[in-house]
Chains A and B, each alone.
Chain A
């Protein structure tokens, strides 16, 4: 199987879908002539032309709203946000318009729009550019949110998102863009709402999403080697819908749970996951649920400290040992 980067996997998904469906349009700041701020869309303008790959002005509320309007008439826009942090200036469009219109119209209208881009800290760019809004957005019924952690999932989830008839927000991670992995050439989708066991284990379940999955896999390695603990890592892949059954099945097997995410703790995704586990697997738990999130402050600029603000393997190991104690 070909080994390609997370970036190339995203690009492959868009290429496939541009070829498959003439209603798919790529739109965003610098996606066409500049080849993408992160080169995700590199070469697409050349291959598909300016009708299908469109540069927008710096006007997030305007162009995202435009994409939502176009999607109501059956266009399938794949909108790039240079950072998900910039979604905040388009919040009304993203939440009120895309998220509510199907409901408020009693099911007469749907919005098959995809908005994608990086949503992560850890790149030494300060608080305004480091938001992780997956929990905020997933808290709105009507919206779907996915967070791929690997190249395989990036391609499969983005393709599923483009084919999905609801608004799907794909949150990527710039630190993962160069990560490589096996990705089939052929057409496949990763269904939205299906978690993936990224590592099988018996003593502790770690639930994570996005780059926290990679961090957790590293921690699991250390826990195995240095502490003889067998860790299972559940990658949520999708925040809403949420694969509750896979989480519960793993916890029922290991009887211990540690939740790891790069969000800030208050109302993070894992607050919901912790609620789920205590509500449906309370009797299965041998220890209180553990949690590792980013340290609760706006994202710090200082590189050295930002690396400590985010979950990192040693912190995950320490928290895991507490749950295992």
Chain B
């Protein structure tokens, strides 16, 4: 039986912010200056996109739930920045950051939030249900943990087709208690599937702290041992560390077709969703502590300023451009048309949307 890889001690996560000890890791030294700037730019774009969403939400233009990714940027950025042609991505409802990372445009993302036909899902999915299969992004899933078996299945398909790929299957710290997640863990390990389960541990599932939700031996990733899977813990405030440790999991998926559980410690600055007044379960001091000392975008900014990759002028122009892009996306979302009434009954069945002589079904399928 393969010995599960146990790599980091949790104490390392409590180190005060400073230059990243992972800056010298090969996956980071191999980044060109341009690639580093691009990575920073993507993180800044997520930040500004989300902050622009708050305003639109407050204007009453976004319906339903809006779960923001602010504070967690380095998780999606660090992991997805490593992925290639046959690597797939699936996550829960806190899905904007991943969407922007895979290359979805701010416009299609914003228009989805306002329910417009120009949205990535044509106004049919909303904030929790972004999709871009052409970019290997399979959602955006609203049921906590429900995406875990799907991600395992995407990895199964990759393996079935003989591709050297993986499926990064993201979930929150609350999701690890769902049965579907455990079933997915077991199948992934039993069948040697190239899945990387990424537990984005932001400390809370809605208003329930991780300590109050989960019986665990010190960390959530360790549950992987029960399934004979490798695991690791990552400081999710340091994008270099995220990349360095994720690279090992990706390699395990690509070269050995084996799964890994990565627990990435992170923090969300805003309420669970915009509907959460965020008053009862954590105090403002805690949020301030993270914002001041562990902000992933600012830490990476510092890092790159120190490396002389960024200059203050460049930082400003990147952030200004991201804000302008978010503003333009907001205007686009505003001005885009709504779906039409007849769109309600489209995109339910492939066979209905693609009728031909070869159709395998007929009869009434949409009822009055």
Q: B156, A70: Cβ atoms under 8 Å?
A: yes
- Return the chain A residue nearest B88 by Cβ: A73
Bits for B163-195, please: 1 = Cβ < 8 Å to A, else 0.
000010000000000011001101100100000
A106-B123, A193-B365 given as contacts; is B150 within 8 A of A97 (CB)?
yes
Question: Which of B251-259, B305-313, B353-361 sits within the interface?
Answer: B353-361
Q: Interface readout for A260-293 with B: 1 if CB under 8 Å, 0 if not?
A: 0000000000001000000000000000000000
Residue of B nearest to A238 (CB): B363
B366 proximity list for chain A (CB < 8 A): 141
A104/B121 in contact, CB under 8 A: yes
Contacts of B125 in A (CB 8 A): 104-106
> Is B360 touching A191 in the complex (CB atoms < 8 A)?
yes
Known contacts A57-B190, A96-B143, A194-B363, A69 near B122 by CB under 8 Å: no
Are B360 and A160 in touch, CB under 8 angstroms? yes
Chain B proximity of A122: nearest CB distance (Å): 28
Q: Of B148, B150, B347, B361, which is within 8 A of A144 by CB?
A: B361
Residue of B nearest to A65 (CB): B149
Q: Given A75-B156, A104-B124, A241-B365, A166 and B131 touching (CB < 8 A)?
A: no
Other-chain residue from A56, A93, A109, A242 in contact with B180 (beta carbon distance below 8 A):
A93
Q: Which residues of A contact B155 (CB under 8 A)?
A: 69
Chain A: minimal CB distance from B170 (Å): 14
Minimum Cβ distance to chain B for residue A280 (Å):
10
In the docked arrangement, what's the CA distance between A61 and B149, Å?
7
Minimum distance in angstroms from A215 CB to a CB of chain B:
23
Task: Choose among A105, A141, A272 the residue that contacts B133 (Cβ–Cβ < 8 A).
Answer: A105
Min CB gap B181→A, angstroms = 9
Contact A70 B154 (CB under 8 A): yes
Choice from B120, B122, B157 contacting A70 with Cβ under 8 Å = B157
- In the complex, what residues of B have CB within 8 A of residue A62's CB? 149, 152, 180, 183-184, 186-187
Determine if A68 and B150 form an interchain contact, defined as CB atoms under 8 angstroms apart. yes
Contacts A59-B183, A61-B180, A241-B365 hold; do A66 and B350 have CB atoms under 8 A apart? Answer: no
User: A interface, by DSSP: helix, strand, loop or mixed?
Assistant: mixed
Chain A residues lying within 8 Å of B186, measured Cβ to Cβ, are 57, 59, 62
Are B365 and A101 touching (Cβ within 8 A)? no
Is A164 an interface position by the 8 A CB rule?
Answer: yes
> Within 8 Å CB of A193, what residues of B?
361-365
**Contact, CB under 8 Å: B180 / A92:** yes
Q: Which chain B residues lie closer than 8 Å to A104 at the CB level?
A: 121, 124-125, 129, 131, 139-140
B346 on the interface (CB 8 Å rule)?
A: yes
With an 8 A cutoff between CB atoms, is A228 at the interface?
no
Q: How far is the CB of A148 from chain B (nearest CB, A)?
A: 14
Task: Specify which chain A residues have a CB less than 8 angstroms from the CB of B215 in the assembled complex.
Answer: none
In Å, the complex CA distance between A166 and B90 comes to 21
Interface residues on A, range: 35 or more
A168-204 interface code vs B (CB 8 A; 1 in, 0 out): 0000000000000000000001011111000000000
Q: Which residue of A lies closest to B352 (CB)?
A: A166
Report B345 CB to chain A, min CB distance, Å.
8
Known A92-B180, A107-B122: A189·B360 in contact at CB below 8 Å: yes
Q: Is B316 an interface residue when CB atoms closer than 8 A count as contact?
A: no
Would you call A164 and B129 a contact (CB within 8 A)? no
Given A65-B149, A93-B149, A72–B138 Cβ distance below 8 Å? yes
Within 8 Å by CB of A102, from B119, B152, B160, B350, lies B350
Known interface pairs A105-B131, A241-B364; A70-B180 also in contact (CB < 8 Å): no
Complex CA gap A277/B161 in Å reads 48
Q: Is B151 an interface residue (CB 8 A)?
A: yes
Q: State whether the Cβ of B348 lies closer than 8 Å to any Cβ in chain A.
A: yes
CB distance from A248 to the nearest CB of B (A): 11
Q: Known contacts being A70-B156, A75-B157, A96-B143, is A105 close to B361, with CB within 8 Å?
A: no
Q: Which residues of A line the B interface, CB within 8 A?
A: 25, 51, 56-57, 59, 61-75, 92-93, 96-97, 101-110, 112, 141-142, 144, 160-161, 163-166, 189, 191-195, 238, 240-244, 272
B binding-site residues for A, Cβ under 8 Å: 88, 90, 119-125, 129, 131-134, 138-143, 146, 148-158, 160-161, 167, 179-180, 183-184, 186-187, 190, 346-351, 353-354, 359-367
Additional 8 contacts, C-beta under 8 A, given A102-B349, A164-B351: A57-B186, A70-B156, A93-B180, A141-B348, A161-B360, A163-B360, A191-B360, A241-B361
11 sampled A-B residue pairs with Cβ under 8 A: A25-B160, A57-B187, A63-B187, A65-B146, A65-B153, A92-B143, A97-B150, A160-B361, A164-B361, A193-B365, A194-B362
